[in-house]
């Protein structure tokens, strides 16, 4: 029987749950803050996007940055981490066609490609974008995924390591100093505000604390993963970063980040395909996290740990963007959040080599106790979104 994880202590979660007065996010999201109005930091940032930020000025900053790195001989001059999804397509395609850059897209392979995810990667490549696909050792990746599910309550953590590290490795290998990511998730979705007014982030401490759940790739050695198998998951050393003069930037600093608009852009410019079933399991949207058959379980375990699933994340951003009202968001969250993804459930269990009984034992071990109680034999959130 798995050991019960104390997520309240691990993530510093407050005992009393309350929700943002503007969106549907709660104070259980790690690192999120609220002002005296009860408005979350992500909504505060969204207000600034609409009223305070000089986007023309930000674009001028972007042009200066790109001119600094623009190649004179037509060689690659910017690395774009890209899955073929709507956001990375938006970044890479715009850098090439609006700003005249020569991007090299770097893709960290999903655990198990979906058909639509593979097609979208091909759409991106055949739209005229160069690509390098990095696929890690399948045995080590599977083992790390299973351990990550058990220890961290997130089967996606090994993927996140590579998603961040691989493009930087490619930048070092091909001596391309500029790496352009999409949005800064900490400020867009609620988290650490230290980089809210910056285009970049620290590739050391910020990466570990914001993206690695405080658990660096090297920490897996004590669980039997060899150092040689971890090479693909490690960012370049600080000496390599400094020697190259590497700059990691967020496009969301320079361009107002609107996921729905990115979707329309990718459909129009590369023929991006949405979820064939009309929506992704666990939410109402049809255009996010489509490429990996394991993606839904990352969101499901977030729901167990924080009471916040994919529908909450989608609805919160669309409320901030003015696409739906808070009342509509509440209804969508209540209908779709926490839905167990069943379409790939059998493949997921086979991949992490678990029985369904073992899966539920692990799931319950990560269910945060102050958020959940049983009602007539079924788990229910003590404080659902209101």
Beta bridge partners of 132: 106
Of 368, 42, 30, nearest in space to 210 by CA: 30
pLDDT at position 210 over 70: no
pLDDT for residue 163 = 92
DSSP calls for 26-95: BTTSTT--B-TTS-BHHHHHHHHHHHT--HHHHHHHHHHHHHHH--SSS---EEEE--SSHHHHHHHHHH
pLDDT for residue 222 = 87
What confidence tier does 203 reach under pLDDT thresholds 50, 70, 90?
Answer: low
- The domain ranges of the chain are 7-51+291-381, 56-254
Dihedral sign (CA 28, 29, 30, 32): negative
pTM of this prediction exceeds 0.85:
yes
pLDDT for residue 199 = 87
- In Å, how far are 14, 21, 23, 40, 188 from 36, measured between CA atoms? 17, 11, 15, 10, 20
Q: 70 is written with which tokens? A: 């623009």
Q: What average pLDDT does range 98-111 have in this prediction?
A: 98
Q: What average pLDDT does range 132-143 have in this prediction?
A: 95
Which helix H or strand E contains 302, and what residues bound it? helix 295-306
pLDDT for residue 126 = 97
Give per-residue pLDDT as tens, 29-54.
999 999 999 999 999 999 999 999 99
Q: What average pLDDT does range 98-106 have in this prediction?
A: 98
Write out the CATH class of domain 56-254. alpha beta
Cite the beta strand spans of 241-349 per DSSP E. Answer: 247-250
pLDDT for residue 212 = 66
Q: In b/e form, how buried is each residue of 109-147, taking b as 16+ CB within 10 angstroms?
A: bbbbebebbebbbebbbebebebbebebbeebbbbbbbb
256 DSSP assignment: -
How buried is residue 205: exposed, middle or buried, by Cβ count under 10 Å (0-12/13-18/19+)? exposed
End-to-end Cα distance, the chain: 35
Give per-residue pLDDT as tens, 112-129.
999 999 999 999 999 999
Do the beta carbons of residue 141 and residue 111 sit within 8 Å?
yes
Q: What are phi and psi of 379, to 5 degrees?
A: -75, 135
pLDDT for residue 90 = 98
User: What's the chain's average pLDDT?
Assistant: 94
How buried is residue 2: exposed, middle or buried, by Cβ count under 10 Å (0-12/13-18/19+)? middle
Q: In b/e form, how buried is each residue of 287-299, taking b as 16+ CB within 10 angstroms?
A: bbbbbbbbbbbbb
Q: What average pLDDT does range 253-268 have in this prediction?
A: 97
How buried is residue 50: exposed, middle or buried, by Cβ count under 10 Å (0-12/13-18/19+)? exposed
Q: In b/e form, how buried is each residue of 14-43, taking b as 16+ CB within 10 angstroms?
A: eeebebbebbbbbbbbbebebeeeebbbbb
Q: 277 is written with which tokens? A: 């079933």
């Amino acid at each position: 029987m798995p050991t019960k994880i104390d997520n309240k202590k691990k993530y510093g979660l407050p005992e009393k749950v309350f929700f943002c007065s503007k969106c549907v996010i709660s104070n259980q999201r790690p690192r999120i803050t609220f002002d005296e109005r009860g408005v979350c930091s992500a909504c505060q940032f969204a207000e600034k996007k609409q009223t305070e930020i000089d986007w023309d000025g930000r674009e001028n900053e972007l042009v200066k940055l790109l001119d600094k790195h623009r190649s004179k001989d037509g060689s690659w001059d910017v690395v774009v981490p890209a899955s073929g999804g709507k956001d990375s397509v938006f970044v890479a395609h715009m850098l090439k066609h609006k700003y005249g850059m020569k991007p090299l897209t770097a893709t960290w392979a999903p655990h198990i490609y979906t058909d639509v995810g593979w097609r979208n990667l091909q759409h991106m490549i055949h739209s005229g974008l160069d690509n390098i696909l990095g696929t890690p050792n399948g045995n080590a990746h599977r083992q790390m995924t299973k351990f990550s599910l058990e220890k961290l309550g997130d089967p996606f953590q090994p993927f996140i390591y590579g998603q961040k590290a691989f493009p930087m490795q490619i930048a070092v290998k091909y001596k391309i100093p500029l790496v352009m990511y999409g949005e800064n998730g900490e400020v867009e979705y609620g988290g650490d505000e230290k980089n809210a007014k910056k285009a970049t982030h620290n590739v050391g401490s910020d990466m570990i604390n914001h993206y690695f759940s405080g658990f660096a790739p090297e920490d897996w050695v004590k669980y039997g993963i060899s150092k040689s198998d971890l090479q693909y998951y490690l960012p370049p050393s600080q000496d390599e970063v400094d020697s190259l003069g590497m700059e990691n930037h967020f496009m969301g600093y320079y361009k107002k980040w609107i996921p729905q608009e990115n979707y329309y852009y990718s459909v129009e410019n590369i023929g991006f395909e949405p979820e064939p079933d009309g929506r992704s399991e666990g939410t109402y949207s049809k255009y996010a996290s489509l490429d990996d058959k394991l993606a839904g379980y990352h969101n499901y375990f977030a729901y167990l740990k924080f009471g916040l699933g994919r529908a909450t994340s989608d609805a919160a951003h669309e409320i901030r963007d003015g696409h739906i009202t808070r009342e509509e968001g509440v209804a969508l969250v209540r209908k779709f959040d926490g839905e167990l993804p069943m379409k790939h459930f059998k493949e997921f269990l086979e991949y992490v080599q678990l029985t369904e009984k073992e899966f539920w034992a692990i799931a319950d071990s990560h269910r945060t106790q102050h958020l959940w109680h049983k009602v007539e034999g079924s788990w229910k959130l003590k404080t659902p979104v209101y």
